Structure 1
Amino acid sequence: MKERYYVGAYWGPRQETALECARRAELFFLMLARCDPTFAQWYRAGRGAPRDLPGHPMPQEVKELEALFLQGRIRTSSSRKVIEELGFSQIMWNAKKAATDIHLSCGAYSPWGGPNVCLLYPTTEEPIRKRLLRAPVLAQVLTSMVTAWDPDFAMATSSEMVNLVEKRKWEVRMGWLTYLSRRRGTLPPLPEPVRIEPVGELGWLLILSPELMTASNPEHVAFTAHVRELLDRAGLIELPAPATP
């Protein structure tokens, strides 16, 4: 069975307007389009979408993106009142079948709500999947996310690998590729073949191997767990639990 790989960026409460989120999204999609040809056009749900397309084409301009985020505000189930502190949410995809999906939640600042996230789930369709699951491509995708959203941490890995190496409910998730913001602290020395690349002045991208790392390979699991332990000893892994309402 194929492992489910994904790229995820996570950050804590950050109050931002729909316009501020739209500016970040514009930069994100601009950079993402350079990573692979399949990332050039995105679609969203909604009534009246053209039947020959996967959905409504996603807007590219800031003002249109701002309006889209305002449509994606979280509301109460009964009165449909906007819950301002939960920010904005949108889901989009790039094809009708076997699509790459993006889930965005941003602008949330509730101390007890979930994190702000940008998640990308690559297609299961070959040969596109194989092309995307390469370290240089995923490094570009992560750099796009980090540059646009300035998360606390981000990674590219499989859900199966996370399940094997994660030890706490609230912690930085380690993966094949892992990004750590400078806000997290200082990196300790790490063993070969880990490659450390700066992402501007924001933080560091750790590439644990130039080859695809899988949860089905015990050596890959052991090495990922070892690097996680070194980072944990340096105080970079544990995250504070959300406040209790």
Structure 2
Amino acid sequence: MTTLANSGTRPETYYAGAYWGPRRESPEECAQRAAAFFNLLAACEPLLANWNKIPKPRGKGRKTPLMPPDLPTLTEAFRRGVNREPGGPPIERLGLVLSAYNDGPPGELVSVSTHCGAYERNNNVCVLSLPSKGESAERLITASMLTDVARSMALAWEPDWAVAMSHAHRDLQDAEGESDIWLGWVTYLSRHLGTVPPLPAPVRIEPVEDKGTLIILTPERFTVANPEHVALARRVRELLARAGLMRRAGADPRG
């Protein structure tokens, strides 16, 4: 969870998440996607270049480095992350779980929680936490960096949609109940959802290869404390909804 204070307002926290529907994938396939994701993150920022597997039960067991990505290690991590009842057989349709963290200093921890390979009406997700303070937070919580993170999610996981946003903005949209897809500071929409219409300035639109489109609301830090930001987001969300792009139910984890 990332805490960044805005003058005279309650601090906002930020995260990034990618969401996709049922897609059956093996531990090996999930490992390949995770390896691609970790490599893409490492190219974005040095803080995102060191990852260790979070042991189960959490906090116990030895540290397992995941960088540089080793496919056998990642495959085994996903295989061990299968959902099951205590003492029972694997429940394959519920997918595979992998959690990892970096070696950042106190308050600058970054973690990844991934649930992939789920099928039969079960959804999948990858959530990236962000540091709560310090120089790392200042470097990561920018439009350019979060655009790179969202692009990395799109390329590696091929989700239906992805966002980088504040929890406060997400909660505001939940309260308004106007869409199934959250519109973030940075939003990725897969091409299969439809075509992104022209959007008002200062919104920027960028393609992600042939996979989909990134929508960046503002080059400055987006915050719900700024009424102009909130108004812009509502306008953009309305335009996207008119184009049929905001009604795609997905996973609903809380990042």
Q: TM-score, normalised by structure 2?
A: 0.87
Q: Compared with structure 1, are the counterparts of its residues 108 and 183 closer, same or farther at alpha carbon in structure 2 (3 Å cutoff)?
A: same
Aligned residue-pair number: 234
Q: Compared with structure 1, are the counterparts of its residues 75 and 153 closer, same or farther at alpha carbon in structure 2 (3 Å cutoff)?
A: same
Determine the structure 1 residue equivalent to 2:13: 4
- For residue 105 of structure 1, what is the amino acid of its counterpart? H
Q: Work out the CA distance in 1 between the residues paired with 2:158 and 2:74.
A: 19
Q: Work out the CA distance in 2 between the residues paired with 1:198 and 1:162.
A: 24
Matched residue SS, 1:236: coil
Asked if residue 201 in structure 1 is aligned to residue 213 in structure 2, the reply is: no
For residues 1-245 of structure 1, what are the structure 2 equivalents within 5 Å? 1-46=10-55, 47-49=60-62, 55-58=63-66, 60-77=69-86, 79-95=87-103, 97-98=106-107, 99-111=109-121, 113=122, 115-166=123-174, 167-168=176-177, 171-240=180-249
Matched residue SS, 1:127: helix
Q: Work out the CA distance in 2 between the residues paired with 1:82 and 1:132.
A: 37
Does structure 1 conserve the Cα–Cα contact (< 8 Å) formed by 2:163 and 2:188? yes
Does structure 2 conserve the Cα–Cα contact (< 8 Å) formed by 1:155 and 1:177? yes
1:135 Cα deviation after fit: 1.0
Does structure 1 conserve the Cα–Cα contact (< 8 Å) formed by 2:54 and 2:101? no
Does structure 2 conserve the Cα–Cα contact (< 8 Å) formed by 1:165 and 1:221? no
* CA-to-aligned-CA distance 1:73-119 (integer Å, 9 cap, x gap): 01113x332110011011111136321111100000031x3x21111
Backbone CA RMSD of aligned residues: 1.7
For structure 2, the 5+ residue unaligned runs are 1-9
Q: TM-score, normalised by structure 1?
A: 0.90
Identity fraction in percent = 43
Q: Compared with structure 1, are the counterparts of its residues 228 and 32 closer, same or farther at alpha carbon in structure 2 (3 Å cutoff)?
A: same
Does structure 2 conserve the Cα–Cα contact (< 8 Å) formed by 1:13 and 1:110? yes
Determine the structure 2 residue equivalent to 1:52: none
Q: Compared with structure 1, are the counterparts of its residues 240 and 10 closer, same or farther at alpha carbon in structure 2 (3 Å cutoff)?
A: closer
Does structure 2 conserve the Cα–Cα contact (< 8 Å) formed by 1:165 and 1:225? no
Q: Work out the CA distance in 1 between the residues paired with 2:179 and 2:144.
A: 29
User: After TM superposition, where is structure 1 displaced by more than 6 Å over at least 4 residues in a row?
Assistant: none
Does structure 1 conserve the Cα–Cα contact (< 8 Å) formed by 2:21 and 2:250? no
- For residue 41 of structure 2, what is the amino acid of its counterpart? L
1:43 Cα deviation after fit: 1.4
Does structure 1 conserve the Cα–Cα contact (< 8 Å) formed by 2:19 and 2:250? no
Q: Work out the CA distance in 1 between the residues paired with 2:115 and 2:179.
A: 18
Q: Compared with structure 1, are the counterparts of its residues 177 and 75 closer, same or farther at alpha carbon in structure 2 (3 Å cutoff)?
A: same
